[in-house]
Chains A and B, each alone.
Chain A
């Protein structure tokens, strides 16, 4: 039991940190520009595919360095020439634009790379067990994932709170006009933040690709969950996104690892249903089965009872 718990926790943390890498970029972009970037998970996917291609010729580590940069540059260009143009048509148009962008990026990826699953390998140097507990191995690559994620967050926190550009960004998030009046180039900042956000998403793709498989559906799998996280954590709150990411990561991990089902719950009350009962599907539900939908259940509950999320700003 304990070994299941420990490994489930570790896996949950890995997933949670990965999700936060995506959620952080999304939150930054939303705080700054008021637009929920629907295509965020597509940039994640793009990062994975780019890194895969680079890794074929130049190895994993070059891919790790270069792919996020490529994705970030593309993101900045899209902001400059696409999103900025749509901005004047209102929030709905922006959301629809990013939605169309998501669609287009996924189709383009399939166009350039094909529809098959790519054999994106983690680097050999990390192909050992970091430690073995109760007979189960925890791979060094996963440890690497944790290390990179934590490193990025420390760096992000440092940049946002201790450097000049970071403080300007924080100010521009809430008061773009004032910041512009102070002589800063706000459009450039917007472009930079969008590029940085998408680069983060791309980086998440680079390190997740080998583990979560690089295939055309990878954006869809994560995309909705990232939105759930951002909403649950509270739109616009990085701390909230962090808590929510870990929460969801751990929740899913525990749910999948557990063996509990509706049957067990009902047996506690001494109820038993025959197998051909019309609602047999419901009674036969197990926790691992509903693990994929748990985040959405949580989302709906949060939106009903606490629409501003865990740490979001309250409205009057």
Chain B
């Protein structure tokens, strides 16, 4: 059974249709990439799934439960986490606090004002563990707003995965990174999404073909193909619309 399922989703802003009838099923444990030219509606799709936008019509279901039109915090609590294309962290908190906040709900603290964070051993250990995974352990007390770009992207990732969500949606996670930084980032992503469901919007085709089990191609708000990488590579519609002349490194 698909863990995330979109059925005929439409989204219009006024008279402008951005998403025109997208249907998509993503299986549990799958690594799914979404690609498409700029303006195709990839970010809009993300916003629809994660609760920032309401759908004009259609349904989105997580584990067969409808999540479309629900608030972002409700969807997050159901086990779907996302990162952002433009770094979206808590700049005035330090790196450790950023991650710890992301852990609070999943550790059951809710809106407690009777627990002292400093004394929650399990919580703090988990936070340190996440920092370790993303390689920011020695920057734990740094104000997040003062990190270098690639480190902020790593933190961005850390916040997304900290809650232990089953479905992780990443939006251009390596954008703006140098080649070596991107390689490290991809390895990190592979490591921390092992056993989980990963959805990734990405422009770098090498990464896409490397990481993805299946690829969906979005053009002008429509899915023109959704298949395994090999099939996508050979799909004439995709080549015409997006890939153009791709030097495939076999």
Q: Which residue of A lies closest to B54 (CB)?
A: A316
Per-residue interface assignment for chain B, residues 48 to 61, with 1 indicating a CB less than 8 Å from any chain A CB and 0 otherwise: 00001110000000
Q: Measuring CB to CB, which residues of chain A are less than 8 angstroms from any residue of chain B?
A: 316
Q: Which residue of B lies closest to A316 (CB)?
A: B53
Cα distance A316–B52 when bound, in Å? Answer: 9
Chain B interface category by residue count: under 10
CB distance from B68 to the nearest CB of A (A): 15
Q: What are 4 A-B contacts defined by CB distance under 8 Å?
A: A316-B13, A316-B52, A316-B53, A316-B54
Q: Measuring CB to CB, which residues of chain B are less than 8 angstroms from any residue of chain A?
A: 13, 52-54
Instruction: Note all chain B residues with C-beta closer than 8 A to A316.
Output: 13, 52-54
Cα distance A316–B54 when bound, in Å? Answer: 8
Closest 4 CB pairs of A and B: A316-B53, A316-B54, A316-B13, A316-B52
CB distance from B211 to the nearest CB of A (A): 32
Cα distance A316–B53 when bound, in Å? Answer: 7
Instruction: Note all chain A residues with C-beta closer than 8 A to B54.
Output: 316
CB distance from B18 to the nearest CB of A (A): 12
Instruction: Note all chain A residues with C-beta closer than 8 A to B53.
Output: 316
Instruction: Note all chain A residues with C-beta closer than 8 A to B52.
Output: 316
CB distance from A14 to the nearest CB of B (A): 39
CB distance from B20 to the nearest CB of A (A): 19
Cα distance A316–B13 when bound, in Å? Answer: 9
Cα distance A316–B44 when bound, in Å? Answer: 12
Q: Which residue of A lies closest to B47 (CB)?
A: A316
Cα distance A40–B220 when bound, in Å? Answer: 47
CB distance from A314 to the nearest CB of B (A): 10
CB distance from B70 to the nearest CB of A (A): 15
Cα distance A316–B11 when bound, in Å? Answer: 12
CB distance from B129 to the nearest CB of A (A): 35
Cα distance A316–B12 when bound, in Å? Answer: 11
Cα distance A316–B72 when bound, in Å? Answer: 14
CB distance from A67 to the nearest CB of B (A): 45
